């Protein structure tokens, strides 16, 4: 099982280390600074941390395998907006919302999703970045709008392990987009989803869907799971079509989803009450798991707080390890929990951390 994990928080990057079968809080990196997302690159053991420093802007740091020091590297940056542009969006990186490695056959390739809806690619481990212009220039981007933020953002990046040029991204609120040529061209890929927050005539418009989080089963790459603003969807054909799952336990609303690394039928969710409240159902924290492709769900509660709990789990706040047994869950209230048996039983790591944006294994 993984021996290291990371929590990206409002007050730094908290490193977790396993001791006697349980996770304990270890070193804290960038203490006091907001870390929006971290990436532990399995290809070379390097670690990346994206910081959002407000007035000082977005920063990106890398720690190489075997090193104890961090190096500031280039952060994705938008080109100057043409003076004659009619685009109402400010061309400025406001947040790195997602970081993903390229395929195993692409050493040095990184992908970054940002607010306001730009996708960036690096081929040199973050030393330089290029805006993926083909996605930025699609006409449908004019229809995108903010979901949780006042501008659109790319929160999910799914690289196909069979072909590294095949990439799928999720946009809030801008739907699902796929490329099969490394980003040179894109097609919208949200068929089957619906947006109940839109007027009826726009309900099925693929370019205004709000997928909260999309994850891929690495061992069965055609299978994708999506926690959407209006429910849960699953695809068995690499995102070409999506089927709604209507029998989720407790609630079909939430932000986070984690896919089993080998079993395409298994995924975990963090259900909540929708929209204005956004708290666990009944103020009782639970994780739901389906092991049969969404036909049935089990609510998993053992070890999680069951009274007066108002923790919300963000999009990147639920993670599963490479074995498919270890889970991490972290909340906006500073709670962090772990499971070593697929979610059947949970152990409290802490309930007093800063607000947590993301969790990942390292």
pLDDT of residue 112: 99
pLDDT of residue 284: 97
Question: What are the tens digits of pLDDT across the range 225-252?
Answer: 999 999 999 999 999 999 999 999 999 9
Strand partners, 300: 287
pLDDT of residue 165: 98
pLDDT of residue 1: 73
pLDDT of residue 141: 98
Tokens of 32: 């006091």
Using CA atoms, how far apart are residues 331 and 309, in angstroms rounded to an integer?
A: 11
Using CA atoms, how far apart are residues 2 and 274, in angstroms rounded to an integer?
A: 33
Q: What is the arithmetic mean of pLDDT over 170-187?
A: 98
pLDDT of residue 148: 84
Using CA atoms, how far apart are residues 122 and 106, in angstroms rounded to an integer?
A: 11
Query: How far apart, in Å, are the Cα atoms of 126 and each of 23, 39, 61, 112, 245?
Result: 30, 12, 9, 10, 38
5: pLDDT strictly greater than 90: yes
Using CA atoms, how far apart are residues 154 and 179, in angstroms rounded to an integer?
A: 15
Q: What DSSP character marks residue 136?
A: H
- 342 in Cβ contact with 328 (< 8 Å): no
Using CA atoms, how far apart are residues 340 and 346, in angstroms rounded to an integer?
A: 8
Question: What are the tens digits of pLDDT across the range 196-229?
Answer: 999 999 999 999 999 999 999 999 999 999 999 9
Question: What are the tens digits of pLDDT across the range 292-329?
Answer: 999 999 999 999 999 999 999 999 999 999 999 999 99
67: pLDDT strictly greater than 80: yes
pLDDT range class, residue 351, cuts 50, 70, 90: very high
- Structural domains of the chain in order of their starting residue, each with its CATH number: 103-354 (2.130.10.10)
pLDDT of residue 293: 98
pLDDT of residue 180: 98
275: pLDDT strictly greater than 80: no
Using CA atoms, how far apart are residues 35 and 358, in angstroms rounded to an integer?
A: 9
pLDDT of residue 20: 87
Q: Give the residue carrying structure tokens 């987009």.
A: 177
Q: What is the arithmetic mean of pLDDT over 70-79?
A: 98
Q: Which residues contact 58 (CB under 8 A, 6 or more apart)?
A: 50, 51, 52, 75, 76, 93, 94, 95, 96, 114
pLDDT range class, residue 21, cuts 50, 70, 90: confident
């Amino acid at each position: 099982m993984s021996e290291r994990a990371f929590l990206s928080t409002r007050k730094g990057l908290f490193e977790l280390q396993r001791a006697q079968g349980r996770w304990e809080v270890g070193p804290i990196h960038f203490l006091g600074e907001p870390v929006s997302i971290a990436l532990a690159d399995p290809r070379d053991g390097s670690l990346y941390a994206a910081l959002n420093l407000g007035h000082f802007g977005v920063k990106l740091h890398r720690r190489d395998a075997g090193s104890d020091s961090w190096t500031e590297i280039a952060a994705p940056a938008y080109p100057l907006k043409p003076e004659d542009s009619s685009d109402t969006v400010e061309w400025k990186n406001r947040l790195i919302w997602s970081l993903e490695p390229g395929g195993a056959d692409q050493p040095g390739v990184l992908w970054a999703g940002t607010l306001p809806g730009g996708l960036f690619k690096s081929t040199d481990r973050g030393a330089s970045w290029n805006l993926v212009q083909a996605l930025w220039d699609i006409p449908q981007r004019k229809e995108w709008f903010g979901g949780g933020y006042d501008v659109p953002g790319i929160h999910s990046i799914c690289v196909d392990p069979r072909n590294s040029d095949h990439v799928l991204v999720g946009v809030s609120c801008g739907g699902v987009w796929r490329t099969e040529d490394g980003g040179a061209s894109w097609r919208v890929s949200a068929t089957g989803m619906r947006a109940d927050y839109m007027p009826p005539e726009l309900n099925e418009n693929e370019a205004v869907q709000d997928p909260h989080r999309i994850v891929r089963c690495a061992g069965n790459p055609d299978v994708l799971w999506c926690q959407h603003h209006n429910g849960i969807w699953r695809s068995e054909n690499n995102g070409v079509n999506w089927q709604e799952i209507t029998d989720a336990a407790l609630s079909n609303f939430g932000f986070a989803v984690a896919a089993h690394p080998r079993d395409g039928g298994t995924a975990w969710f963090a259900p909540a009450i929708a929209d204005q409240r956004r708290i666990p159902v009944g103020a009782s924290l639970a994780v739901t798991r389906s092991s049969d492709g969404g036909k049935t769900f089990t609510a998993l509660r053992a070890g999680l707080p069951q009274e007066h709990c108002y923790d919300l789990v963000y999009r990147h706040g639920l993670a599963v390890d490479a074995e498919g047994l270890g889970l991490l869950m972290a909340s906006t209230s500073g709670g962090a929990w772990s499971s070593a048996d697929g979610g059947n039983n949970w152990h409290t790591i802490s309930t007093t951390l800063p607000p947590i944006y993301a969790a990942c294994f390292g």
